[in-house]
Chains A and B, each alone.
Chain A
Amino acid sequence: MSMQCLVLLHDNKPAYFVDKWYRSIKLSPPRIRSTAGKGDGTMRDLSRLFYPRAIAVVGASDSMFKWGSYIFTNLLAAGFKGEVYPVTLTRDSVYGRKAYKSLMDIPGEVDLVFNTTPANKVMNVLRDCSAKGVRNIVMITSGFSETGEEGKRLEEEMVAYAHAHEMNIVGPNTMGMVNTACSIYATGSLVKPVRGGISIVAQSGNVGNQVMEWAEQQNIGIGKFVGSGNEGVLMCEDYLEYLSEDDDTNVILMYLEGIDNGRRFMEIAKRTTMKKPVIALKAGRTVGGARAAASHTGAMAGTYATYASALKQSGVILTTAPTQMLTLSAAFDALPLPRGNRVGVVTLGGGWGVITADECEEQGLALPPLPDDVFAKLDSMLPPFWSKGNPVDLVGQPDPVLFSESLRLMVSSDAFDAVIILGVIGATKFVVRVNQMVLDLGYGSQQEVDGLSAVFRKKQFDFLDTIIGFMEQYEKPIYPVALVTSPEDKMLYSRNGGKYKVAVYKTPEEAVFCLAHQYEYSRYLRQRS
């Protein structure tokens, strides 16, 4: 029974081979990189790449819309503590800083060079780096293997030189890097997320930047970001290996289009995921997507089914949308891992509870019945018409004390590994809106509404504190879902010195999505340790 077929382009050239297992395989051979000496199992020392003491920007410029300006101003504006030297042949100073004609003219030591000069000048810059003793280069420059034969030749020359001189090169054709721990924000855009434990490796700079942009809006802390570009020298798994040992990184997030050495990647990923969660989005799920990916970085995008299996086999958590990836990373960074799949649900309203229960069941989570002791205590505390089961339906009683006490009973019970609580967060806004309407009708006073608003805001923050306290006390994750949200709401709340943070979810499905993946990861770890 023959199921193989060829997919032809309009000019009748074969574009894809569909094998008998229905995976499309691109017909061009996998790209061969000149990677002598790589993948020998030795871990690369990237510490001075991410934690440089002094930086030079070669090709620095004060023309506002040039890369040589973006990188330079970004470094200065973010407050990097070490020296930042501009290097350019055409100017004596850049944005008021003394410029140097060459790296060799710089008086002090340089740990890291950002290069923005054109591709045909790159070999000169590398020779200067070598003479100056610079081992780490972020090669912003494009025009290499992604552009054709000549570019490919240039890249091979560059890669060979880098290997011979033991240089770490990010890129080429990269958007740059970020390390919030030492205030390095050196990318083509001005995103400035707060410092945190989520580090990003992206085979597309703009995806990485977008994720950081959302992180900034949501108050989600980022550790490091690197756009891996063409991966001439440093491959995505080299960054993964470094980040697995990096104390400033708790969660690793990867945007992947293609992996050159799948088996090496898996080895490193398997080791890494035993230490910290790795969340990945592998683009190119469809034939069209795979084609776009292949032309983007020049990497051969293998078949999605194999990638998905290989990532899963290595303990990597696979997502399909960049927003999901960030939401999940935030949960992993903020919350303790659930030890099992038994979920307790506390809800302000019945329908919400049912929806949550459905979501849980569909994602492999269980809602066990209430144990007798929990039932008895809830029954003595709640109005007689409460749900008398899990989900615990507080039947519209917006009393934070009832919520806190119900939450404590559920989270402290051995019957549950995690609790989803729907509805105290955002109740403030609900109450204030009710009062505002009354005010609009000419009753009450603005002062009264403001006062009420302040009281409820405090209650809400107290409740968030309560959640953090319970998570620390019982080492179980709690997932609050907001009753009402507004655009300015942040996803993450922390308190000083707290071990955990609260992530507030906009919808029950988002909360269940995070819980289900955290459970899956916790099970993966348990089975393998």
Chain B
Amino acid sequence: MKELLKNAVGKGQKALSEYDSARVIASAGVAVTKYMLAKTRDQAVSFAREMGFPVVLKGCSDKVTHKTEMGMVKLKLKSDQEVAAAYDELTGKGVILDGVLVQEWIEGDKREFVIGLTRDPQFGPCVMFGLGGIFTEVLKDVSFRVAPLTELDAAEMIEEIRTRKMLDEFRGSPAVERAALVKALIGIGNLGLEYDEIREIDINPMVINGDKPVAVDALVILNSK
């Protein structure tokens, strides 16, 4: 990871591509959707088959940090043909890409959370947890802890959000496995302590698959030189 981060900073990157971001957060113990980086249309199709349909395709580059706005996300593709067409569309936008990210589609149960890392001038790396998805902005239901986090710290910050009841059994979905969230929060804090190259991390959303929180999008922002 150190190598990956150092190289990216060395190249003057401001952020990691989603592919590299996913590798970094996965190394910290955060569960991430299955993902593979396709360099050709055929590769994309064969990765999709390997993973099982439906899949998601995303244009992958450190320059593409606002994927949705740039039309770089193709959701819920159900066949070879759809994957191939999406591949062509993403690569035909005139943006230089590292490749196309093929991701397993997770239906989820509408519950979405956010995990993040920020650096405070006085306290250093701080971990954030909260309600994710499209309501993050409106409800501002988030909690913070200064890294490193103990298990107790992580458990407490989870309980601090106003919508914590969504983590319990919710409209037919099982209670979210808190231990997995605790592990993810501790891991993200440790990334901040370990790697000065990382300025911020944004994992939004973490969707809930059964009782497991899974990251379906991640962005690592770098401390540029």
Interface on A for B, CB 8 Å cutoff? 1-3, 19-22, 30, 258-263, 266, 300, 302-303, 305-306, 308-310, 312-313, 527-528
Within 8 A of A (CB), among B92-121: 116, 118, 120-121
Given A21-B118, A528-B152, 14 more pairs with CB closer than 8 A: A1-B66, A1-B69, A21-B116, A30-B122, A258-B122, A261-B122, A262-B123, A262-B124, A266-B123, A266-B146, A306-B120, A306-B126, A309-B144, A313-B145
Q: State the Cβ distance, B61 to closest chain A Cβ, in Å.
A: 17
Partner of B123, one of A1, A20, A263, A528: A263
User: Is B202 touching A20 in the complex (CB atoms < 8 A)?
Assistant: yes
User: Is A306 touching B122 in the complex (CB atoms < 8 A)?
Assistant: yes
Q: State the Cβ distance, B134 to closest chain A Cβ, in Å.
A: 8
B22 located at the interface, meaning its Cβ lies under 8 Å from any Cβ of chain A in the complex = no
- What residues of A have a CB within 8 angstroms of the CB of B140 in the complex? 22
Partner of A259, one of B69, B122, B128, B156: B122
Using A21-B116, A305-B144, A309-B143 as known contacts, say yes or no to A3 and B137 having CB atoms under 8 A apart: yes
Q: List 12 A-B contacts (CB under 8 A).
A: A3-B137, A21-B116, A261-B122, A262-B122, A262-B124, A303-B120, A305-B142, A306-B122, A310-B123, A310-B146, A313-B146, A527-B152
A306 to B126 CA separation, bound complex (whole angstroms)? 8
A302 to B121 CA separation, bound complex (whole angstroms)? 7
B81 located at the interface, meaning its Cβ lies under 8 Å from any Cβ of chain A in the complex = no
User: Is A262 touching B120 in the complex (CB atoms < 8 A)?
Assistant: yes
Which partner residue on chain A sits nearest B127 by CB separation? A309
Interface centre among A259, A260, A305 (most CB of B within 10 A): A305
Q: State the Cβ distance, B117 to closest chain A Cβ, in Å.
A: 11
A209 to B126 CA separation, bound complex (whole angstroms)? 34
- What residues of A have a CB within 8 angstroms of the CB of B69 in the complex? 1
Partner of A306, one of B123, B152, B156, B202: B123
Which partner residue on chain A sits nearest B134 by CB separation? A1
Interface centre among B68, B116, B126, B137 (most CB of A within 10 A): B126
- What residues of A have a CB within 8 angstroms of the CB of B68 in the complex? 1
Q: State the Cβ distance, B8 to closest chain A Cβ, in Å.
A: 21
A30 to B122 CA separation, bound complex (whole angstroms)? 8
Within 8 A of A (CB), among B2-23: none
- What residues of A have a CB within 8 angstroms of the CB of B121 in the complex? 30, 300, 302
A20 to B142 CA separation, bound complex (whole angstroms)? 12
Q: State the Cβ distance, A458 to closest chain B Cβ, in Å.
A: 48
Interface on B for A, CB 8 Å cutoff? 66, 68-69, 116, 118, 120-124, 126, 128, 137, 140, 142-146, 152-153, 156-157, 202
Which 4 pairs between the two chains have the least Cβ-Cβ distance?
A: A262-B122, A262-B123, A309-B144, A302-B122
A30 to B120 CA separation, bound complex (whole angstroms)? 11
Partner of B153, one of A20, A303, A313: A313
A373 to B203 CA separation, bound complex (whole angstroms)? 55
- What residues of A have a CB within 8 angstroms of the CB of B152 in the complex? 527-528
A382 to B21 CA separation, bound complex (whole angstroms)? 69
Which partner residue on chain B sits nearest A258 by CB separation? B122
Q: State the Cβ distance, A490 to closest chain B Cβ, in Å.
A: 37
- What residues of B have a CB within 8 angstroms of the CB of A260 in the complex? 122
Which partner residue on chain A sits nearest B130 by CB separation? A21
A2 to B121 CA separation, bound complex (whole angstroms)? 22
User: Is A262 touching B116 in the complex (CB atoms < 8 A)?
Assistant: no
User: Is A21 touching B146 in the complex (CB atoms < 8 A)?
Assistant: no
Which partner residue on chain B sits nearest A259 by CB separation? B122
User: Is A21 touching B145 in the complex (CB atoms < 8 A)?
Assistant: no
Which partner residue on chain B sits nearest A314 by CB separation? B146
- What residues of A have a CB within 8 angstroms of the CB of B146 in the complex? 262-263, 266, 306, 309-310, 313
A258 to B122 CA separation, bound complex (whole angstroms)? 9
Which partner residue on chain B sits nearest A309 by CB separation? B144
Which partner residue on chain B sits nearest A25 by CB separation? B121
Q: State the Cβ distance, A28 to closest chain B Cβ, in Å.
A: 11
User: Is A21 touching B120 in the complex (CB atoms < 8 A)?
Assistant: no
A302 to B124 CA separation, bound complex (whole angstroms)? 11
A302 to B145 CA separation, bound complex (whole angstroms)? 14
Using A1-B68, A2-B66 as known contacts, say yes or no to A21 and B142 having CB atoms under 8 A apart: yes
A260 to B122 CA separation, bound complex (whole angstroms)? 6
A471 to B120 CA separation, bound complex (whole angstroms)? 44
Interface centre among A262, A310, A313 (most CB of B within 10 A): A313
A1 to B142 CA separation, bound complex (whole angstroms)? 17
User: Is B120 touching A302 in the complex (CB atoms < 8 A)?
Assistant: yes
Interface centre among B122, B146, B152 (most CB of A within 10 A): B122
- What residues of B have a CB within 8 angstroms of the CB of A30 in the complex? 121-122
- What residues of B have a CB within 8 angstroms of the CB of A20 in the complex? 202
Q: State the Cβ distance, B203 to closest chain A Cβ, in Å.
A: 13
A191 to B52 CA separation, bound complex (whole angstroms)? 76
User: Is B144 touching A306 in the complex (CB atoms < 8 A)?
Assistant: yes
